[in-house]
Homo-oligomer: A and B are copies of this chain.
């Protein structure tokens, strides 16, 4: 499908060749010397699954340490926590890369014809990860970990002092290392392709170039119409919402949409996230008294991630078949609940009464229409995470264009702030006032996470495409949502997405679920249908 898969096949072939006696043909993978009887193959498969579940348990503990770090840990215990995490991370690495797992994979790959397609998918995904982990030495992994920490600290300092040049030399080092990693994994010639594949296997730079080109030209006229409109809704009308009641509300909401509190929790952190594991899923939100929508949509967003985790098939938990697809598909799940559903009229048709009951005084002078417009206010914001969904993808495209050039060397780090500001003006019509508002706003590059930004925009595209299909498959979905019945939506997602774990790639699964190739068209249609009626006012919107 792409270079990574080819590389896996190649690696597999080489392993196979090195095991074969000379007279064997390389492309015949079920030869005498390697073929096993069915029982033996299935015993090996079960052993592999046991090993994977063992590693999964350790990894889920690591996730819990991270959750606890952000939710509960006392301040002064941070150093010790880092030691605990380092120790456990090394064990996870060691347990996953041990010889036995490689051995099982070899046997199973040579006897793939005796396995189901789901089982072969499990082996394919395990091999992909195994080869990647093995290709990075423990020494490199440790060095990378240190660099992440160094990068994060330098970024924070630069932010505090609003001076990109304090971060620049470290970013140079981070880039060298990012290219080195790509080289280890076989992408020396095209490091950015590795990073895209790293976070979203199956997508190529060419794919993304195409999608983002379409988004860019499609979003521009929508933004132009909104900006030309005399309608200027604002979120500032919502003030003084008690945090305690905000929590009551979002707990009710995510419980109603299906988040299982018997295997999950909701807590508070400054930066919301979804952590833990499918078996014990822990989401967090933040609350601001004068920005109450933050907890509503943050909660829906994280609950969307949580529902995907909780929807993984139980019998496969701990294996790739019981593991959600990263990153674009995961983001599509959170965005679908946050945006397609949470920002809709029918959603608020059901919830507005309860919201007004909890916040009577805060809302009594605000009409339903003004409230709904506040929710869907569109305004260019210099900061990505504070953007509405109309302009959000432009922020992503900006980062994508720049990181691609940073990786291939056609953009120098020292020139980054100027390039950022120029592109910001071009895409958003806004020139950041300083580095903090511009090039220093996101943490990602400081911890070496290149190729991560595109996933956000891909997720938005997928959410819109799935939503379009879901509305066709469930013609009365609006009526159901307006009645507070979210089960049909969740059932559709469970059946079409969640149940498959990593059995298919993101692109394959989108095609299976919608019958169409992935396309930016659905997202652009969705934006027009949702926002233009509000701003341009030509008719009723959905």
Contacts and interface: CB of A to CB of B under 8 A. Distances in A.
Interface string A70-97: 0011111100110110011001000000
Given A57-B83, A87-B58, A280-B81, A68 B76 contact: no
Closest 6 CB pairs of A and B: A77-B280, A80-B279, A76-B262, A57-B87, A76-B263, A57-B84
A84 to B, nearest CB: 5
A132 interface: no
A264 interface: yes
A279 B91 contact: no
Interface string A250-264: 000000000011111
Contacts of A83: 57
Contacts of A74: 261-265, 280
Interface string A266-289: 000000000001011000000000
Interface of A: 54, 57-58, 60-61, 64-65, 68, 72-77, 80-81, 83-84, 87-88, 91, 260-265, 277, 279-280
Contacts of A68: 64, 68
7 contacts: A57-B83, A58-B91, A61-B84, A64-B64, A72-B72, A76-B260, A77-B280
Nearest to A80: B279
Given A64-B68, A74-B263, A80-B279, 15 more contacts: A54-B87, A57-B87, A60-B80, A60-B84, A61-B61, A61-B84, A72-B265, A74-B262, A74-B280, A75-B262, A76-B262, A77-B279, A80-B277, A81-B280, A91-B91
A259 to B, nearest CB: 11
This chain: copies in complex: 2
A80 B263 CA distance: 10
Given A64-B68, A80-B280, A81-B280, A88 B264 contact: no
A493 to B, nearest CB: 21
Contacts of A261: 74
Nearest to A60: B84
Given A80-B279, A81-B280, A280-B81, A61 B75 contact: no
Contacts of A58: 87-88, 91
A360 to B, nearest CB: 25
A81 B282 CA distance: 14
A428 B421 CA distance: 82
Contacts of A77: 263, 279-280
A415 to B, nearest CB: 43
Contacts of A265: 72, 74
Nearest to A64: B68
Contacts of A260: 76
A315 to B, nearest CB: 14
Contacts of A87: 54, 57-58
Nearest to A65: B61
Max count, chain B CB within 10 A of own CB: residue among A81, A87, A265, A277: A87
Contacts of A262: 74-76
Contacts of A81: 280
A1 to B, nearest CB: 33
A260 B77 CA distance: 11
A122 B68 CA distance: 32
A64 B358 CA distance: 37
A74 B283 CA distance: 12
Contacts of A73: 280
Contacts of A277: 80
Max count, chain B CB within 10 A of own CB: residue among A65, A73, A77, A265: A77
